[in-house]
């Protein structure tokens, strides 16, 4: 059975949501934010790339040749459909269905940022030798530390519609670049 572009996009959406809920249910603990970032950084790009690649490869094998626009379309559109539906569903889930998960992710995001600031500060302090450089570092650290004050982070929300649109734009850039690569790779090759 040959799947059409929309079916492949829906398949990607289902796979994405399965991975999202697996991370949510099995890894939604103290390291939920880190686990989510790992899945988004390493697992999802591989899944989307494999679906795009095999989507084009199957057409190429069947028809023995494929042009750039057909290869691009069959790589890009399933990733676009799957990504759009996934982002929309995750936005609705975090903002309307399970706000405690959103609050946990926001808290862990801020905690991660503060831990990275502290780590960078300690490393820099060990390297610097001049007292004026150390004083400058200390001043910048104290200024940056103020952004983590409870009154400043209590309303910090990394899961707004604006954030999701920016994230989706980044996903589209990945989809576009990968689809261009796939289109260029398959366009002049013969399956035989």
Lowest mean pLDDT segment, chosen from 13-22, 29-38, 43-52: 29-38
Burial pattern 51-67, b for ≥16 Cβ within 10 A else e, equals bbbebbbebbeeeeebe
Which pLDDT belongs to residue 2? 65
- In 3D, which of 94, 80, 111 has the Cα closest to residue 21? 94
| Residue at 192 is within a domain | no
Q: Are residues 95 and 27 in contact, defined by beta-carbon separation less than 8 angstroms?
A: no
Q: Which residues lie closer than 8 Å to 106 by C-beta, 6 or more apart? A: 156, 157, 158, 159
| Residue at 105 is within a domain | yes
- Counting the structural domains of the chain, the total is 1
Centre a 10 Å sphere on the Cβ of residue 154 and count the other Cβ atoms it contains.
Answer: 9
| Residue at 127 is within a domain | yes
Q: What is the 8-class DSSP label of residue 146?
A: G
Question: How many CA within 13 A on the CB side of residue 15?
Answer: 22
Instruction: Please tell me the pTM assigned to this model.
Output: 0.84
Q: How far is CA 156 from the centre of its chain?
A: 20
Helices (H), 1-67: 5-27, 32-38, 44-63
| Residue at 46 is within a domain | yes
Which pLDDT belongs to residue 192? 62
pLDDT > 70? residue 190: no
pLDDT > 90? residue 177: yes
Residue 75, domain extent: 5-187
């Amino acid at each position: 059975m040959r799947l059409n572009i929309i079916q492949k996009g829906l398949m990607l959406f289902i796979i994405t949501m399965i991975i999202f809920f697996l991370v949510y249910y099995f890894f939604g603990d103290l390291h939920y934010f880190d686990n989510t970032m790992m899945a988004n950084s390493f697992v999802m790009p591989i899944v989307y790339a494999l679906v795009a690649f095999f989507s084009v490869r199957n057409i190429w094998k069947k028809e023995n040749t494929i042009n750039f626009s057909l290869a691009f379309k069959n790589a890009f559109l399933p990733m676009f459909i799957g990504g759009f539906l996934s982002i929309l569903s995750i936005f609705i889930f975090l903002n309307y269905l399970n706000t405690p998960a959103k609050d946990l992710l926001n808290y862990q995001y801020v905690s991660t940022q503060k831990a990275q600031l502290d780590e960078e500060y300690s490393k820099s302090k060990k390297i610097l030798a001049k007292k004026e450089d150390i004083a400058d570092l200390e001043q910048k650290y104290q200024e940056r530390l103020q952004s983590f004050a409870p009154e400043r982070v209590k309303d910090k929300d990394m899961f707004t519609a604006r954030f999701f649109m920016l994230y989706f734009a980044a996903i589209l850039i990945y989809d576009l670049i990968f689809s261009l690569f796939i289109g260029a790779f398959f366009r002049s090759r013969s399956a035989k």
